[in-house]
Amino acid sequence: MLNGKRIIVVMPSYNAARTLGRTVAEIPRDIVDEILLVDDASPDETVEVANRLGLTVFLHEANYGYGRNQKTCYREALMMGADIVVMVHPDYQYSPNLIVPMAGMIAYGDYDAVIGSRILGKGALEGGMPLYKYVSNRALTLFQNLMMSYKLSEYHTGFRAFSADVLRSLPLDANSDDFVFDNEMLAQVIHFGFRLGEISTPTRYFEEASSINFPRSVKYGLGVLGTSLRFRLNRMKLRRSRLFKHDERKLLGDYYHRVESEPPNR
């Protein structure tokens, strides 16, 4: 806990068996009350590794996508009484050591949501981000800042922290089940007027770390452009989007189950 706030780390996972242990080892357990992992029907041993590490594990019945995985993460974290939810990718790209300052910015009332930016400072290229991804990141971010009349260093990081109030308020089920979910969620945070902060975070790119391929990157980029346009048209009251309607909220279906850990061998 921090300042009396219950903190739950959520890990949307797919094929994370090789990097999960390193990521969990750096999570500050003195302030994190629980670690929740949702596996999107991985063919590898992600679930088995997570059980050995003592995590709370949920398993999707099929591969539904990164966005749907996050919906499950946030739903279950709220049901477990989280005051602050921090999303950490299990691929060891981001430093879990920064969970403390990110959660603290929310716990002490300065922000409602915080993102770990790879662009602030010199982290992205030095950490191995491919040049084409860096350039596209900067171009898309510039476009979104113009369309949303906002100012962020990037909209595309997967290291994020949210207050429970934010997660209860956003119509997350209106969002995509694919990678553009991340971008739609930030657009919603901005639209509904929540205080959004940033913190500089180093990043690591290596063979075992997950990364979407070029065709998926193009699809994501087009999705980002679409999100920005929907935001702008909605703000100008030219076209209402369900992404920005409170009444779009609903409970998710039963497409996953909790994995019960086996008792340790004696």
Exposed/middle/buried for residue 248 (C-beta within 10 Å: 0-12, 13-18, 19+) = middle
| CATH number of the domain within which 253 lies | 3.90.550.10
The confidence score (pLDDT) of residue 189 equals 97
Is residue 208 predicted with pLDDT exceeding 70? no
> Is 265 among the domain residues?
no
Phi, then psi, of 165 in degrees rounded to 5: -60, -40
Q: Encode pLDDT of 132-157 as tens digits.
A: 888 999 999 999 999 999 999 999 99
pLDDT digits (tens, 9 = 90+) for 82-117: 999 999 999 999 999 999 999 999 999 999 999 999
Query: What region does 128 belong to: left with phi over 0, alpha with psi -120 to 50, or beta?
Result: left
Examine residue 73 and state whether it is found in any structural domain, yes or no.
yes
Name the more confident of 251 and 208: 208
Inside any domain, residue 266: no
Most confident of 116-120, 123-127, 148-152, 214-218: 148-152
Kindly report the average pLDDT of the chain as a whole number.
91
The more confidently predicted of residues 153 and 207 is: 153
172: which 2 tokens? Answer: 């997350």
Alpha helices in 81-240 (DSSP H): 99-107, 123-126, 131-148, 164-169, 181-191, 214-235
pLDDT for position 173: 92
pLDDT at residue 31 in the model: 96
Domain-located, residue 246: yes
- Tokens 């429970």 correspond to 164
Q: Look up the domain containing 189 and give its range.
A: 7-259
Q: How many domains does the chain have?
A: 1
Q: Phi, psi (5° rounding) for residue 258?
A: -80, 140
Which of 19-23, 60-64, 252-256 is the least confident region? Answer: 252-256
Q: Which residues of 123-151 are buried (b: 16+ CB within 10 A; e: fewer)?
A: bbeebebeeebeebbeebbebbbebbebe
Asked if the model's pLDDT at residue 245 lies above 70, the reply is yes
Q: Are 82 and 8 in contact (CB under 8 A)?
A: yes
Rounded CA-CA distance 13/39 in Å is 5
Mean pLDDT calculated for residue range 173-188: 96
Instruction: Say yes or no to pLDDT of 228 above 90.
Output: yes
- Can you tell me the mean pLDDT for 67-88? 96
What pLDDT is recorded for position 251? 47
Measure Cα distances from 36 to 1, 171, 244, 263 in Å: 16, 22, 28, 18
Residue 15, exposed/middle/buried by CB under 10 A (0-12, 13-18, 19+)? middle
| Residue 1 domain-assigned (yes or no) | no
DSSP 260: P
Per-residue confidence band for 266, with pLDDT thresholds at 50, 70 and 90: very low
Share of the chain above pLDDT 90, in %: 78
